[in-house]
Amino acid sequence: MRRMICAVALMLGIAALSLPAHTQEAAKKNAAIKPAPSVSQAVLEAWNDIGRKLIAMAEDFPEDKYDFKPTPAQSGFAEKLLHAAGANYFFTNLALGLKPPPEEDPKRETYKTKADVAAYVKKSFADGAAAIKAKGDKGMTGLVVDPDAHQQTRLYDLAYGLIEHSGEQYGQLAVYYRIAGLVPPESRPKK
């Protein structure tokens, strides 16, 4: 009998603890569904998200390791950041009706310090975000000529290509962190 009372009490306790979760789920199901973001909003969110991650790395990685290379054949940490940031202008310039940049990779000699590199990374993402905002939905669905593919493409597709490229660079830089014995900012416990 005592066991039965304990079992019933335990089941009631579990039911009481799960009640708030069921109430929250019901509230979510009854809440109005948010509309999908517009084309320019979706691109801007993705652009800013990868930009935030690369900027965090640029500001976090120790300056004395900025030229760190996992192997001699690879680019240094700063060179990878400069490559990602410089590539952004293949979107930004076309979005603004300008010619693509003359070179893909800004020279490390031009950006000598950690502060110089971090400022360039920030600027490249801020310039891209400003272009996305300026173009709006209509402008982001417009056509431009992709200089690499030598074909027309929608501006938002070009932006997503550069977002993907930045994500690839982010993944490679996360490996640089690990090989250098460090933890990337995104992988650290949140406070």
Query: pLDDT class for 30, splitting at 50, 70, 90?
Result: confident
CB atoms within 10 A of CB 190: 4
- Residue identified by tokens 């209509």 is 138
In single-letter form, the type of residue at position 10 comes to L
Q: Could you tell me how many residues make up the chain? A: 191
> From CA 73, how far away is CA 180, in angstroms rounded?
16
**pLDDT tens for each residue of 49-89:** 999 999 999 999 999 999 999 999 999 999 999 999 999 99
Cβ-count burial 141-160 (b if 16+ within 10 Å, e if not): eeebebeeeeeebebbebbb
Q: Which of 182, 158, 137 is nearest to 95 (CA)?
A: 158
* pTM, rounded to two decimals: 0.82
**pLDDT tens for each residue of 112-126:** 999 999 999 999 999
